[in-house]
């Protein structure tokens, strides 16, 4: 399955990793899960540190030696507190793909996390114990890949996948009415399906895709320009900054200064 969307997390850039005292290794999934699982990843923390995450529409499983938890899609930036040095393993799912593996309404886990004991998912409760029997990252990734393959249901509504592709292709700038018409659903049903699979309404998810595109542009340019605002489908900078405040709790400039400063340089 082709996947045109690449979620962006500043913390996982070389600069972000350095600022937080982290190292990173990643591995793609097996071919059958490409376009569904973004990556298996493992960070090594040399000390306790916050791990900032910005909204990207994805879901993730985080595993440590102490257990596992499933993180729902976030509408606002948050810090995951890494309290001890060591290895932390993750499975990073693309937006809208979690239901390939577990039959839940993902809107119910939006902006929250679910402990391994609080979700009915075959063998999820013992996944952490299984992967930490191995010391090599590649072996841990293989265990997770094999587990996911036993849970995998390849079916997904074709119109939903088409809707997601159109949102990505437009960088989140299609009107809901236009998107619904192109997909062949009513706007209400489109909202219902986006909520079931991504946790967000069509408008909310489009805003997050637009925000992600803005983050990538600003990261490359180092600042927010009027041209960037226009390219992102915002009529002026104030409109874009309002969206940033909603999802990040700060302006683009403040986020950039935070990442570039020594605030997190441990």
Q: CB neighbours of 253 closer than 8 A, spacing ≥ 6?
A: 223, 224
pLDDT band at 261 (very low <50, low <70, confident <90, very high): low
- Cβ burial 130-162 (10 Å sphere, 16+ → b, else e): ebbeeeebeebbbbbbebbeeeeeeebeeebbe
Query: Domain locations in the chain?
Result: 10-151, 158-260
Helix (H) or strand (E) holding 42: strand 37-45
Size of the chain, expressed as the number of residues it contains: 266
CA dihedral 34, 147, 93, 86 (to 10 degrees): -120
Calpha distance 236→192 (Å, rounded) = 31
Using the predicted structure, report yes or no on whether residue 191 has a pLDDT greater than 70.
yes
Per-residue model confidence (pLDDT) at position 222: 62
pLDDT of residue 127: 94
Q: Is 126 helix (H, G, I), strand (E, B) or coil?
A: helix
Tell me what pLDDT residue 150 has. Answer: 95
Asked whether this chain's domains 10-151 and 158-260 adopt the same fold, the reply is: no
**How far does CA 177 lie from the centroid of its chain?**
26
* pTM as predicted: 0.87
* pLDDT average, residue stretch 113-131: 89
- Any idea which of 71-75, 188-192, 234-238, 260-264 has the lowest mean pLDDT? 260-264
Residue 255, pLDDT above cutoff 70: no
Average pLDDT over residues 246-254: 67
List the alpha helices (DSSP H) in 153-236.
158-169, 176-183, 187-198, 202-221, 226-231
Beta bridge partners of 62: 69, 90
Q: What is the architecture, at CATH level 2, of domain 10-151? A: Sandwich (2.60)
Q: pLDDT class for 116, splitting at 50, 70, 90?
A: confident
- H/E element, 67: strand 67-71
158-260: CATH superfamily: Homeodomain-like (1.10.10.60)
**What local confidence, expressed as pLDDT, does residue 262 receive?**
41
Mean pLDDT taken over the chain: 87
Look at residue 78 and give its three-state secondary structure.
strand
Query: In this predicted structure, which of 3-12, 85-94, 153-162 has the lowest mean pLDDT?
Result: 3-12
């Amino acid at each position: 399955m082709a996947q045109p969307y690449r979620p962006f997390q500043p913390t996982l850039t070389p600069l972000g990793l350095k600022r937080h005292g982290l190292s990173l290794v990643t591995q793609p999934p097996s071919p059958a899960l490409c376009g569904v699982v973004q990556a298996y990843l493992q960070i090594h923390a040399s000390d306790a540190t916050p791990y900032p995450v910005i909204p990207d529409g994805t879901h993730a499983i985080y595993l440590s030696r102490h257990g596992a938890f499933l993180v729902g899609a976030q509408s606002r930036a948050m810090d995951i507190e890494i309290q001890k040095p060591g290895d932390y393993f993750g499975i990073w799912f693309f937006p809208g793909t979690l239901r390939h593996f577990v039959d839940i309404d993902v809107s119910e886990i939006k902006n929250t996390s679910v402990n391994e004991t609080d979700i009915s998912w075959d063998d999820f409760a013992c996944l952490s114990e299984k992967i930490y029997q191995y010391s090599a990252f590649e072996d841990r990734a293989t265990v997770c890949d094999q587990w996911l393959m036993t849970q995998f249901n390849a079916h997904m509504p074709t119109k939903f996948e088409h809707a997601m592709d159109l949102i990505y292709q437009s960088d989140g700038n299609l009107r809901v009415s236009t998107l619904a018409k192109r997909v062949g659903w009513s706007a209400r049903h489109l909202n219902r399906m986006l909520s079931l699979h991504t946790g967000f309404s069509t408008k909310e998810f489009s805003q997050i895709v637009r925000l992600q595109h803005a983050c990538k542009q600003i990261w490359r340019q180092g600042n927010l320009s009027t041209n960037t605002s226009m390219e992102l489908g915002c009529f002026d900078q104030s409109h874009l900054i309002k969206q940033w405040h909603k999802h990040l709790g700060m302006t683009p400039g403040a986020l950039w200064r935070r990442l570039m400063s020594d605030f997190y340089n441990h």
